[in-house]
Chain A
């Protein structure tokens, strides 16, 4: 649905032939595109206005570079400005006396309980001993939810009956922490609307009674224009000290981060990136900026690849490829590596410029095909994998049966694989290799 801002700007500048400086008219047409991109990313309307003003001041009259296109020049400026707004990532402030108190606040459904558990796990890994506090007495089974998460992670949870007031529960929890030498207390408060005076009053009372070092606003990365009002509401009442942006593993562009940052001025401390308790990440401003501009998240992809892909296996595969000895066994090994990156969908989404292209790729089909290929190779004997030539009719029938496919599927895979082998053999020729590299350059 969304084009990449870079493509848009290139388009806007396609008429630009004159060398020298960007004229006001050039800039205006570019800024229209920037404005739309930011609004589509859910950056607050008013902030976009200010933002565009700033970019305009920086852009009008700049000298056109020979090295990069005008579009790239503008994107660079926008990117830089976004970085300034997003600010530096910050660590938790756990100074002062023990136990350190962290209070989690936010709207209903923003992900406070899940994030509380993630944060507790994160802190335990950093050698703290956390205590989780179930202070949401309103939502049915919220206490139980935290208790279950605590049990799973083997992290203690302080809970009381729903008839006890949340400020009282929190105050009691501090005493429990002191008595049991827990050095961090995480208060999971109930979700509430920032305009609900009674409940916001309750938050203030919890704050007064527990003096938290950190008050973290948990916000859904999918939030729209409301982000400003919501964060303003919470910040005015309890002085938020940091932000956690959740559900960033979806496809929201996350412009709300800009809105919340601008309103509160407090740093973004973590991102929630998945449903597992370990899915809490440190915030990288440059990645979020690229994402807001719809420019993919190649850095995250690379990092993930570094994380999950076994270098040795990858190298072994590359070596055998170059030697022309690549067999089905190697192929399977490499496929399994790729699969570790996640679904094809997810991988494609992270590649810059794929935004629009990715829609045209039949990802479900690709996913299915990948599974099928894996099943077929898995059903072969080691001997067959190493030398696919020995696969005769009866062997193929056996493999088809074993993998739940048809003989045609196996023939298709083999013919594709042989073509690939042939291509690889050609790659031994340095000139062909150069040609191939050039082709890749064109794609990037």
Chain B
């Protein structure tokens, strides 16, 4: 579908425009809309900086990151002798983008015999659903995909993945519930070679990042993949619920430490949540957002593009949201 729609353009290019904008309308109106409003005046007033900081905090960007961001922008405005709020906004936009940009490209795009993607995260963040969406996306790119049902712990997690597999016509390698997830991964990778699979997506059980033994297990699972396939996993994605507050940073820190996450998938962005924690994650850990999840159906996943993300947030908004006004 992607190929057809966008005439062979890469997914990233295709999405950098309209669709991200559409999907973020809600976020835009309720939050960044106000930011644009802030910069709407004739002169820069001191209140503006305070309001800007408070809006960022309310988007879960975090106290520290918000304060730093505002300070950076403020310093630049002073240094560059800027007097018009509209120009200040431009600088703010640039600084926000900076936090999300400049990271390594995904290693998935590289040519190789078999690409392994490990998907990790805390309970209920949306790993299994994200895997289903990723499978559908790669299949539409013409890749042969295989799913490994590595969550053998949660009741019926295997069934959940199998149902998604059926819907997207993707093979699922699974053992019985309670089986060693390492064995599942081993089987899946072995069978991938036999089937000439292009991409294996490994589902894992949700685990809180503070659980020592479960994080150790995850390290072990990563090791099994590394042993079977050269340089695997080629991508390790942390699935992060956009509704999560400051704990998101702790999650990213811990998962990075144990399994070297290479990217974040920000899920549940179809609600009112902003997922502002990704700015801190980008700043502190240099881990980029790769995809955003915007719904429950298989096509509700988009590659993340910082440029389009930040630009989209600023475009064409008004501050007529009554509820928001009342809140301030």
Name A's B-contacting residues (CB within 8 A): 1, 36, 39-42, 45-46, 107-111, 138-142, 144-149, 152, 193-195, 220, 222-227, 229-230, 247, 249-253, 255-256, 275, 343-346, 349, 363-364, 367
Contact = CB atoms under 8 A, between A and B. Distances in A.
B155 A148 contact: yes
Contacts of A345: 210, 212
Contact of A226 (B63, B125, B271): B271
Interface stretch (B104-112, B188-196, B242-250, B311-319): B242-250
Contact of A222 (B59, B154, B157, B244): B244
A144 B177 CA distance: 12
Contacts of B243: 107, 220, 223-224, 226, 230
Nearest to A41: B246
Contacts of B160: 139-142, 144-145
Nearest to A344: B212
9 contacts: A41-B246, A109-B241, A145-B156, A220-B241, A222-B248, A225-B59, A247-B122, A249-B211, A251-B208
Interface string B231-265: 00000000001011111111001000000000000
A42 B208 CA distance: 18
B146 to A, nearest CB: 18
Interface of B: 26, 54, 57-60, 62-63, 122-126, 153-157, 159-160, 162-164, 177, 208-213, 241, 243-250, 253, 268, 270-274, 276-277, 296, 327
A358 B232 CA distance: 32
B247 A141 contact: no
A233 to B, nearest CB: 8
Contact of A39 (B63, B123, B124, B274): B63
Contact of A249 (B126, B156, B208): B208
A224 B277 contact: yes
Given A42-B60, A144-B155, 20 more contacts: A107-B268, A111-B123, A140-B163, A141-B160, A142-B156, A144-B159, A148-B156, A148-B177, A152-B155, A193-B272, A194-B272, A224-B276, A225-B57, A225-B59, A225-B245, A226-B274, A247-B122, A343-B211, A346-B211, A363-B212
Given A107-B271, A140-B159, A220 B124 contact: yes
Identify the 6 closest CB pairs spanning chains A and B, nearest first.
A224-B245, A109-B124, A42-B245, A148-B155, A145-B156, A140-B163
Given A109-B124, A139-B160, A141-B163, A149 B155 contact: yes
A147 B160 CA distance: 13
Given A140-B159, A226-B243, A343-B212, A1 B250 contact: yes
Contact of B245 (A142, A152, A249, A255): A255
Contacts of A149: 155
B272 A229 contact: yes
B325 to A, nearest CB: 13
Nearest to B213: A343
A194 B155 contact: no
Nearest to A248: B208
Interface centre among A111, A140, A145 (most CB of B within 10 A): A140
B273 to A, nearest CB: 5
A275 B206 CA distance: 10
B15 to A, nearest CB: 22
Nearest to B242: A226
Interface centre among A40, A46, A225 (most CB of B within 10 A): A225
A226 B60 contact: yes
Contacts of B327: 46
A218 to B, nearest CB: 10
A108 B268 contact: yes
B192 to A, nearest CB: 23
B159 A226 contact: no
Contact of B156 (A144, A193, A343): A144
Given A109-B241, A224-B245, A367 B124 contact: no
Given A108-B124, A141-B160, A346 B272 contact: no
A2 to B, nearest CB: 9
A23 to B, nearest CB: 24
B208 A45 contact: no
B210 A111 contact: no
Nearest to B55: A45
B57 A193 contact: no
Contacts of B268: 107-109, 193
Contacts of A141: 156-157, 159-160, 162-163
A256 B245 contact: yes
A71 B314 CA distance: 42
A149 B154 CA distance: 9
A46 B276 CA distance: 17
Contacts of B123: 109, 111, 247, 275
Given A36-B63, A251-B210, A108 B245 contact: no
A149 B247 CA distance: 28
A138 B241 CA distance: 19
Contacts of B126: 108-109
Nearest to B132: A140
Contacts of B157: 141, 145
B58 A225 contact: yes
Contacts of B58: 45, 225
B246 A42 contact: yes
Contacts of B253: 1
Contacts of A138: 296
A400 B268 CA distance: 53
Contact of B57 (A39, A109, A142, A344): A39
Contacts of A252: 245, 247, 250
B272 A195 contact: yes
A264 B62 CA distance: 24
A37 to B, nearest CB: 9
A113 B177 CA distance: 18
Nearest to B245: A224
Contacts of B276: 224
Contacts of A46: 327
Contact of A145 (B124, B154, B208, B213): B154
A227 B241 CA distance: 13
B210 A40 contact: no
A342 B218 CA distance: 18
A288 to B, nearest CB: 15
A21 B7 CA distance: 73
A224 B63 CA distance: 12
A419 to B, nearest CB: 28
A343 B60 CA distance: 30
A225 B55 CA distance: 11
Interface centre among B62, B212, B270 (most CB of A within 10 A): B212
Contacts of A226: 60, 243, 245, 271-274
Nearest to B56: A45
Nearest to B295: A193
A223 B248 CA distance: 9
Contacts of A363: 212
Nearest to B160: A141
Interface centre among A193, A230, A250 (most CB of B within 10 A): A250
